[in-house]
Structure 1
């Protein structure tokens, strides 16, 4: 019995220091530490010189990063990168550095307002930055592209969509609010018979066009269309993609955008929704963390399966099936009711 208070205290300490690990990871990316190590600069003095940092402070950061499983080695032997550390290199094909920057800068400040948000509502981003996330992405130069690079870094679950849904029966697919076009690119590359439309806010269209030109090619297989998903979406596709969009909006606006997709959906068409589903038993923590993060970032939310059914039903759609993907993400397939 005597050890129970100590174990509980240790759990509190582990929780409250979690943000320190996140910020240590951010610091490593901010000073390009993984890139310097990958370039062969492994000694502490050399790394301090290359990164323009204080040697003592860097030594202490490297010790923590090694304990966290980001780096290998020691001050005496020199440092290397683990598989985790490799993902932070700028040239890694699945680089996550921009995601770390976004969460270490804008979103870290937003989370500083968590108590205020719980008391009064709203979003942490607005409390901290004086504007909504969507206004920030629209108005701050480079913010939209940075955000999409960060989102792309967390999209390792996209290939699972190809296994869960048969695109072979489709001729046209529309990615609604498709961001940089990464999901549409994955689908088009796997299914050469498809024609794709990426529908996004006008200021994001150039970012998507650049990415799709690079990954799919400028061969007429896709088009980009700017517009407002709360007004209308392109008509008549066999499949509509909606990846991590519902999480940004309240139920009323979700029903409105889903109703617009319902109006465009042919009788045999399908809507593919990628979101995290809250397990009310608490068995999976990542959707619960993301649920509160969305409140901090955009005033949004994750939903339970019943919550998704509710907004789909109100828009004239029915949930047909649910498929588990990586990173505790789910693919929800919906059809016309």
Structure 2
């Protein structure tokens, strides 16, 4: 039987295009940017009120709310009034998972980069750089508001699968853990709470770690964490029992990943372990979210999502020996996260 990567039934590509076009995402962006969910609850509110609260044109806002209601985020009521649905609650600022901030992050400066997607296709370089005149992380450093949005989104949106993977990992024998590129320490704090005898180090750029002490104090682990401001391209804190790279390497090309892994390799004592938590593009046919995430990483950052074999080859090229894949599951509708353990070869 010949191999195929196509779904078993013929898709309606025209319907897929129209229903999944950029205007769907941008409609969500309007709701997120205006904070509509924060202004709505179970009781209906008029579009006139919402327009006054958000600084929007009343008629235009009504037309967007009408679509949001059709999408299930809002309930439509007579008299051009709307209330928030249970599903729409995900767009609230205080909703678990930080979806609102993720929508805002991907629909602003990142969305504009897609207008030059053919630059990526023809050159292999991120379109973001061409549109904004700077690489993504340089752009964040020069734009404090965008950098704050990035930190809020990354602090929550990408961590749930990683924490779930680490909950299945045996941390026996690990006294000191370094979270490389660990942001403000959210993931590290979760691991430390699961392992009361452990201490940790969170390492990231100074623009990120500035908020780490307050965040770690909120998590109740400030006395157990050292905060280090440094680029992982330059150095990694040495001498720990284990090093975590969670949702880091997919941001970078293979060449850059080898540089990062090289710094980790230099920092690791002979007994130490490397733990990589990242998405995995599943084998087999059918459209999967990780494939679309791969396009996003390529256009914005020049990074990539990788298959299990890609991860094995990358680690091998960096001087590591993969010892086990602790967790890898394919739910079919979400990014697949694997937790891969490796040691120095």
Normalising by structure 2, we get a TM-score of: 0.88
Counterpart among 334, 337, 345 of residue 329 in structure 1: 337
Distance 1:139 1:65 in 2: 34
Aligned-pair Cα RMSD in Å: 2.4
Partner in structure 1 of residue 180 of structure 2: 176
- Cα 1:33–1:148 shift into 2, 3 Å: same
Measured against aligned partners, the alpha-carbon deviations of 1:86-133 in whole angstroms (never above 9, x if no partner) come to 121123343322211111101111112112211222112111111000
Distance 1:7 1:312 in 2: 40
Partner in structure 2 of residue 13 of structure 1: 18
- Matched residue of 1:278: which SS? coil
Q: Which runs of 5+ in 1 are unaligned?
A: none
Post-superposition offset of 1:25 = 0.6
Distance 2:277 2:11 in 1: 41
Partner in structure 1 of residue 101 of structure 2: 98
Q: Is 1:188 the equivalent of 2:192?
A: yes
Distance 1:142 1:58 in 2: 25
- Matched residue of 1:320: which SS? strand
- Matched residue of 1:166: which SS? coil
Distance 2:60 2:292 in 1: 31
Q: Is the 8 A contact 2:162 2:278 kept in 1?
A: no
Distance 2:87 2:195 in 1: 32
Post-superposition offset of 1:212 = 1.4
- Cα 1:161–1:81 shift into 2, 3 Å: same
Distance 1:14 1:98 in 2: 23
Partner in structure 2 of residue 157 of structure 1: 161
- Cα 1:284–1:165 shift into 2, 3 Å: farther
Post-superposition offset of 1:31 = 1.5
Q: Which runs of 5+ in 2 are unaligned?
A: 1-8
Distance 1:39 1:180 in 2: 34
Post-superposition offset of 1:168 = 4.0
Q: Is 1:146 the equivalent of 2:149?
A: yes
Normalising by structure 1, we get a TM-score of: 0.90
Post-superposition offset of 1:164 = 2.1
Q: May I ask how many residue pairs the two structures share in their alignment? A: 331
